[in-house]
Each structure stands twice: as structure tokens, then as C-alpha cells.
Amino acid sequence: MLENSDSIINPTVFIGSLELREPVTAITDFMIAITCGIAVWMLSTNRKERSDTFNYYRGFFFMYAIGMTAAAWIGHGLQAYFGPEWKMLGWFCSMTGQAFLVMASLGDLKRSISIPIQKVIIGLLIVQFIVFAILIINPDTRGFQVPQTASALVLAGFVIPLQIMNYLRNKTTASLLIVTAIVYGLLPGYVYNNQISVSRWFNYHDISHLLVVVYMIIMIFAIRRLAFKSGNLSDELN
């Protein structure tokens, strides 16, 4: 494992006059976007009857597809041509995608949670989004740690409890798959935060991106069941 974070970054590559920074990192980041794009296509072309939360689940993947595309090329590959403030595009897309995931999780429980409680949850989600949006917009607090913290808060504070409740009340085993995916998601976070790298050409960015691809694939298996009215995993297995 390399010690100096600067020495871990992919070397810059020139293709004619085009300056391509962190090429492997850009490609692995874009792989996440492609995976999410495939998920959008799979959901959109599925002819099963859609659930009430279909658009939120599809929106989760759609916003991540846009956000990871921006992160791949604006944040990494073509960063020589964009200022650091452009990274906000990817961050806001990912935050919006996670908000959609919360709304989908809440929608699956609309018959089990009272309207006042639903309003409280939505209100807390809005406050959380606004607070972290302000932190991202403010140059003094802007940084990757902000959307990373926002993601952890949304997943641990909203999505996991709602999905566990969905399983306990409705026996929706696909909800357990989402919880499993989120717990697995700690692995790419650990790799990134500890800068676990093999070499400059396969660093902690690249490794964590590939692990996130696996996370998104698990999410596809879960969401393609929750987004349709006959979508329980146990129903498909019987």
C-alpha cells in the first residue's frame, strides 16, 4: 500500500493535445454510471405492472448515472478543463438520488406509517438536504467529505430503518437485500478512507469504484423487485 496520497493518483495521459487526468479512476467511476444507466433501461423496459414507488426507484439510478458520469469526467478525467466547483454537479446528483431512495422506501410503507409521521420523515429529509447543500455551495466547507457524510446519514438514518420496517411488516425480502447492499457499501468506504491501493494505476479510488459497481448490481436485484407490484423476492422464488 502506498503511503503518500499524491503518489497514489493515476499519472496524467496526453492523447494529442487532450489532457486526461486519472484515466483509470475516470473509467472505473464511469463504470458505476454505466451500471446505473443499465438499471434505468432495465426498469423502463420491464412490462410488469409498476408499483407506486417505481419512479422514485428509477430516479435513484437515473440521478446516479448522471452524477457518476459528471464525477468520472468533470471530477477526474477532464478536470484540467473544469474548475473544482464543477464537482458540485455530481455531488448534488448523488444526494438527489439518495433522496429518491428514501422517498421510495417511505412509499413502500405508506399503509403502515401514519400521515403525520410520513410528513415528519419528509421534513427531516428536506432539512438534511438543505443543510448539506449549503455546505457544498459554501467554498469554505465544500469537499468530498460533505456528500460522503450526507450519504452515510441518509442510508443509516432513513433507508436502513425504513427497509427493515418494510421487511418486518410486509415480509418483503427484497428490502433485506437493500440493507445487505448498504452494509456491504461500508467496504468501498473503508477502502477509500484508508487509501488502500495496489499501485498508481490501481489506487483506492479505482478499487472503491469497482466495489461500488458491485453495490449497484446488488441494488438492481433488489429494486427490480420492489419497483413492480409483483416484486417480492420470495414471490419470484416460489
Would you list the domain boundaries of the chain? Answer: 5-237
Report how far apart the first and last C-alpha atoms of the chain are (Å, whole number).
47
pTM score over 0.85: yes
How far is the C-alpha of 237 from the C-alpha of 11, rounded, in Å? Answer: 48
How far is the C-alpha of 222 from the C-alpha of 175, rounded, in Å? Answer: 7
pLDDT for 19: 97
pLDDT for 5: 53
Q: Cell for 111?
A: 399503509
pLDDT for 229: 82
pLDDT for 73: 97
Task: pLDDT tens for the chain, 238 residues: list them.
Answer: 444 456 789 999 999 999 999 999 999 999 999 999 999 999 999 999 999 999 999 999 999 999 999 999 999 999 999 988 999 999 999 999 999 999 999 999 999 999 999 999 999 999 999 999 999 999 999 999 999 999 999 999 999 999 999 999 988 999 999 999 999 999 999 999 999 999 999 999 999 999 999 999 999 999 999 999 865 544 443 3
Q: Computed from CA positions of residues 11, 15, 18, 20, in that sequence, does the dihedral angle turn out positive or negative?
A: negative
Q: Which residues pair with 107 in a beta bridge?
A: none
Got the DSSP string for the chain?
--S-HHHHSPPPEEETTEEE-SHHHHHHHHHHHHHHHHHHHHHHH--SPBPTTHHHHHHHHHHHHHHHHHHHIIIIITGGGS-GGGHHHHHHHHHHHHHHHHHHHHHTTTTTS-HHHHHHHHHHHHHHHHHHHHHHHSTTT-STHHHHHHHHHHIIIIIHHHHHHHHHHH--HHHHHHHHHHHHTHHHHHHHHTT--SBTTB-HHHHHHHHHHHHHHHHHHHHHHHTBTT--HHHHH-
How far is the C-alpha of 189 from the C-alpha of 204, rounded, in Å? Answer: 10
The CATH number for 5-237, chosen from 1.20.1070, 1.10.490, 1.10.1740, 2.60.120, is: 1.20.1070
CB 51 within 8 A of CB 44: no
Please report, as a single letter, which amino acid is at residue 40. V
